[in-house]
Chain A
Amino acid sequence: MDQHTSSEVTFHHHVPGEENVKRIWKTFWVLLIITIIELGLGLFLYATDFPSWLNLAIKGVIVILSLAKAFYIVSIFMHLGDEIRNMIMTIVVPLMLFIWFIAAFLWDGNSYKNLRNTYDKHFEERTTEKKGGH
């Protein structure tokens, strides 16, 4: 096993020291603070009645913060940031498919809603949000 490894791995990353531990704890605090901000925004949405565009904007901020968390976890906890560039690309480039995946299917769901609201008035009356309260 050892020999197997040593022939595959052509150079070893240096043995990590104290600065690595520091980096891990720093990442922990970053993740914790981002999570607290996300929770704060989530509760803010609940406690206040915003116009829908502002609601959407705050949700957008929460999504971006989550992506930042994902970046920290993958790059530092999973050490992908320390791998060589080619390997990072083979993992990250296929994930670009998600851009189409998310956009296409949310668009599809939204279109289905619009079609039903147009052609099925009963559905629209039954499910449209009434004024007042959550």
Chain B
Amino acid sequence: MSSSATAQQTKWWNGGRSPFNVEYGKLMMWYFLMSDAFTFGAFLISYGTIRFSQNFWPDPNVVFNAFPGTGHLNLPLAFVSVMTFILIASSVTMVLAVHEGHRGNRRGVIKWMAWTIVGGLAFLLCQAWEWHHLITGQHAVLANGKLELIGQTMANNPWGQLVDPTVAQQALAASSHETLVHLAHEYPKGTAASLPALEKMPNNQLLGMIDLEHVHVREKGPIAFGGYFFGITGFHGFHVFSGVIINVVMLIMAQKGVFDRRGHYLMIEKAGLYWHFVDLVWVFVFLCFYLV
């Protein structure tokens, strides 16, 4: 065949033995993951470039300090630790599924694939909560001499530098009725009055009811933060989502005995590579957005 090709003809490798002793699909999965690593790398490096070009960047411990069901309690990095733990655990269940696949144990594959899917879904739920919390959060920022309430979005960043208390006090006096009502409800001196009652009060009365020390008034922070955070964690979340879909397909195929008929569980191995890559990317997303 190929050895008898004439000199003018282009020679193509036409299969047979693999030079790397791996199946074609697995090798191509590796090369796809390598290219995907460059895509993620480019995103993260672009984020790094912008971050290095700024004199001030929000402290992740300040941005990511909320935990479901704990209100205003300051718990820096607690929730993202849970997310990281979930992803590491689901990586272990995946590699155990691959291990059972090597041994041709269908029941074992099904069991560990199911746990991997559970882990993936749990991670996505956590991410949905985190995004929702950041976007809908109401943080007091100093803007044009008064306080405004904004969330973390693509257009706004409420995590600038802390404002001097006397400046914050002056700005509070100039703020709108709605802002004062919200602050008096969320940060009351003593016990909070009900929202309808607060809405009826005049501004002067509301001013005396706000515990400004706990509001932590900040300036607006770098806008680029939102785009990079939602863009990169969103792209990672999309990978997790597609990984879950792939794993569900693998689970169904294993259940139906497709791999038993083929005589090998190489598809589980390839899905596993993709899943571990998602975990691998999270190591660096976690590093760049939450740790440093």
> Which A residues have a C-beta under 8 Å from some C-beta of B?
1-2, 5, 7-11, 13, 15-16, 20-21, 24-25, 27-28, 31-32, 35, 38-39, 41-43, 45-46, 59, 62-63, 66, 69-70, 73-74, 76-80, 83-84, 86-87, 90-91, 94-95, 97-98, 101-102, 105-106, 108-110, 112-113, 116-117, 123-124, 127-130, 132-134
**Counting CB contacts under 8 A, is B54 at the interface?**
yes
Q: Which of chain A's residues have a CB closer than 8 A to the CB of B235? A: none
Q: A15-B102, A102-B45 are in contact. Are A46 and B85 (CB under 8 A)?
A: no
Number of residue pairs across A and B with beta carbons under 8 Å? 179
Q: Which 5 A-B pairs have the closest CB atoms?
A: A109-B52, A109-B49, A46-B61, A87-B20, A127-B55
14 interchain pairs, CB-CB under 8 A? A5-B264, A42-B60, A42-B61, A45-B61, A66-B284, A77-B95, A77-B276, A78-B273, A83-B22, A91-B31, A101-B42, A108-B49, A129-B161, A134-B61
B19-59 near A? 1/0 per residue, CB < 8 Å:
11111100100110010011001100110111111111001
Measured as residues with beta carbon below 8 angstroms from the partner, the interface class of chain B is: 35 or more
Q: Tell me whether B99 and A16 are in contact (CB under 8 A).
A: yes
> B116: shortest Cβ distance to chain A, in Å?
12
Contact A87/B55 with A2-B263, A78-B273 known, Cβ cut-off 8 Å: no
- B residues lining the A interface (CB < 8 Å): 15-24, 27, 30-31, 34, 37-38, 41-42, 45-46, 48-56, 59-62, 76-77, 81, 84-85, 88-89, 91-92, 94-96, 98-99, 102-103, 161-162, 262-264, 266, 272-273, 276-277, 279-280, 283-284, 286-287, 290-292
